[in-house]
Amino acid sequence: MTFIALVFVAVTSLFVLAPIAMGVTAVNRVRWRTRAQRHGVRTEGRCIRVDTVRRSGGGRPSSLRRHYLFEFVTQDGRQVRFEDAAPDTTIPGDLFTVSYLPERPDKATVALPGDRRAQRELGCLLVFLAFFLTTSLVIAGVGIGVLSLFAGGS
């Protein structure tokens, strides 16, 4: 019985800690992107590659996802490449305004006017993670209650 309780606690801990870790990672990514767009150095960059990946399987219809590779030159002359999202109409050769923090130009971002994508993605992710965390905590509480019933009956 003790082994089952330990396994339950370990699995439940993972289900509780995973959404917390994902949330922290998402918040940090959005904070970095927002900081780069508000306070970063702006320069001209170019889309140099667009990769399209088709996802299918699991009985769902296939979907396309595009990955964009951009390139720019920093103020000190370094050539930097980075991946970021862009409008679906983007093709290699298109020019964009790039925003980056001098200490981490590899984490540059395409500065699109009025772009609130990162904040929307964060909001959706945090709602999902809050639901997942709440569900995990309820399941953990029920499981602990059931385990204590069996432990008390021994």
Mean of all residue pLDDT scores within the chain: 83
For residue 148, is pLDDT > 90? no
Residue 108's nearest CA partner among 51, 42, 52, 47 is 42
Rounded to two decimals, the pTM is: 0.63
Helix or strand run (H / E) with residue 110: strand 104-110
Of 84-98, 109-123, 130-144, least confident by mean pLDDT is: 109-123
Instruction: Show Cβ contacts of residue 131 under 8 Å, excluding neighbours closer than 6 positions.
Output: none
Q: For residue range 40-51, list pLDDT tens digits in order.
A: 999 999 999 999
Residue 46 DSSP symbol: E
User: Other C-beta atoms within 10 Å of 96: how many?
Assistant: 21
pLDDT of residue 18: 78
